[in-house]
């Protein structure tokens, strides 16, 4: 039986990024409570499930001083190293239960310090330092300068999209610089680029428009989840890539289809701080029938 059968969940969203939070820390099957890719897909099922972009599963902490080890699933069952919007939802949920205003969580991509603020309805996640090496992203072949890489969609002499910046924020991102993020059929190009052989672990694909040195607008096709209203790690990756190209300041406001995020690429330690809201929608229990076909 799945660890999720009959288990409580919270449906939340981070500026429109659909998030389900499940806390398995108090589960009787602690330690053994593993969520499989099949479980994650079953939860996402439109028939009776709780459709989501990312499922955030809190497991017992592995390290002293951390609240939980968090596993992040995309709705196709694949695991992600980072999810900025999902982290803000987790942080709000935990803080509301415990009264904490700051905490450290562990994910596959490392330790994330999180706190409430700078206003009561805002949560900030220290997403860590970005990585730019081609092996870190990862890319399938060597690129010395990842500020732009040779990759294009469309005819050789008249590409529709070309020369993305690539960044790892704990997960792989490619950012295409455009004048109008709505002028492209991202539903068509997204899957092609996500699965391009240059990205051996696939990639999140973002269209970005630098409005001015303090403002950027983006739209993202997410690896493993498709078009979403917001992708926090993409906002971070884009802010960093724009600053690297000297096209924007290290503190910017990023506008996504679902809302706005404040991003700071902190000079002192290279860490990226992401600030935004997190909304609670409802809570419930997973219908065990969802997992009936799951071993
Ligand atoms: N929505 C998430 C990103 C999920 C990442 C995922 N699509 C992947 O890298 O596989 C965010 O707010 O950062």
Its pTM stands at 0.96
Listed range (13-22, 28-37, 51-60, 223-232) with the worst mean pLDDT? 28-37
On the question of pLDDT at 216 being above 70, the answer is yes
Q: Compute the distance between CA of residue 253 and CA of residue 107 in angstroms, rounded to an integer.
A: 25
Ligand 1 pocket: which residues have CB below 6 Å? 17, 53-54, 74, 80, 82-86, 171, 204, 222-225, 228, 231-233
Structural domains of the chain, ranges and CATH numbers in brackets: 7-116+279-291 (3.10.310.10), 134-270 (3.10.310.10)
Cα(237)–Cα(198) distance, rounded to whole angstroms?
18
Residue 154 structure tokens: 């469309």
- Judged by DSSP in three states, 281 sits in strand
Please state which of the ranges 38-42, 45-49, 242-246, 273-277 shows the lowest mean pLDDT. 45-49
Give me the pLDDT at residue 1, please: 75
Residues of the binding site for substrate: 17, 54, 74, 84-85, 171, 204, 222-223, 232-233
Which has more pLDDT, 2 or 30?
Answer: 2
Average pLDDT, the chain: 95
Q: Which of 223, 227, 261 to mutate to test the pocket of ligand 1 (most atoms within 8 A of CB)?
A: 223
Please say whether the dihedral angle defined by the alpha carbons of residues 86, 21, 69 and 134, taken in this order, is positive or negative: negative
Structure tokens at 16: 């429109």
Ligand 1 atom nearest to 53, measured from its CA: 1
Burial class of residue 16 (count of CB atoms within 10 Å of its CB; 0-12, 13-18, 19+): middle
Average of pLDDT values for 168-176? 98
The residue whose CB lies within 8 Å of the most ligand 1 atoms, and thus the one to mutate among 54, 72, 105, 221, is: 54
Distance CA 153, CA 164 (A): 11
Sign of dihedral through CA atoms 83, 68, 266, 143? negative
Tokens of 237: 């990756």
Which residues sit in the known binding site? 17, 54, 74, 84-85, 171, 204, 222-223, 232-233
Q: How far is CA 250 from each of CA 117, 174, 246, 255, rounded to the nearest angstrom?
A: 19, 19, 9, 16
Count of all residues that appear for the chain in the document: 295
CA 93 from centre of chain: 17
DSSP 291: G
Cα distance between residue 191 and residue 189, in whole Å: 6
Token look-up 């739209």 returns: 219
Q: Does the pLDDT of residue 32 top 60, yes or no?
A: no
Average pLDDT of the segment spanning 132-161: 96
Span from the CA of 157 to the centroid of ligand 1 (angstroms) = 33
Q: Dihedrals φ, ψ of 126, to 5°? A: -80, 105
Looking at residue 295, its pLDDT comes to: 53
Query: How confident is the model over 110-136, as a mean pLDDT?
Result: 97
Helix (H, G, I), strand (E, B) or coil at 242: helix
Which residues are paired to 276 by β-bridges? Answer: 123
Tell me the average pLDDT across 271-287: 97
Q: What three-state secondary structure class fits 192?
A: helix
């Amino acid at each position: 039986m799945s660890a999720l059968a009959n288990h409580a969940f919270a449906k939340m969203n981070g500026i429109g990024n659909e998030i389900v939070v499940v806390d398995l820390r108090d589960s009787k099957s602690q330690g053994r409570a593993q969520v499989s890719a099949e479980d994650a897909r079953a939860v996402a099922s439109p028939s009776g499930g709780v459709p989501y972009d990312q499922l955030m599963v809190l497991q017992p902490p592995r390290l002293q001083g951390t609240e939980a080890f968090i596993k992040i699933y995309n709705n196709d069952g694949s695991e992600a190293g980072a999810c900025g919007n999902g982290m803000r939802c987790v942080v709000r949920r935990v803080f509301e239960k415990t009264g904490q205003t700051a905490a450290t969580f562990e994910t596959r991509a490392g330790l994330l310090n999180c706190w409430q603020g700078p206003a009561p309805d805002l949560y900030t996640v220290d997403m860590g330092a970005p990585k730019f090496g081609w092996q870190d992203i990862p890319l399938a072949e060597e690129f010395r300068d990842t500020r732009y890489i040779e990759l294009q969609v469309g005819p050789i002499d008249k590409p529709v999209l070309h020369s993305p910046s690539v960044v790892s924020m704990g997960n792989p991102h490619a950012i295409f610089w455009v004048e109008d993020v709505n002028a492209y059929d991202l539903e068509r190009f997204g899957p092609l680029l996500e699965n391009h052989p240059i990205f051996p672990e696939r990639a999140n694909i973002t269209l970005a428009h630098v409005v001015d040195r303090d403002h950027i607008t983006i739209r993202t096709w997410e690896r493993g989840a498709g078009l979403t209203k917001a992708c926090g790690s993409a906002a971070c990756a884009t802010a960093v890539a724009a600053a690297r190209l000297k096209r924007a300041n290290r503190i910017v406001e990023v506008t996504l289809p679902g809302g706005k995020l404040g991003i700071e690429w902190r000079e002192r330690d290279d860490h990226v701080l992401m600030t935004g809201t997190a909304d609670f929608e409802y809570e419930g229990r997973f219908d065990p029938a969802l997992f009936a076909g799951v071993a």
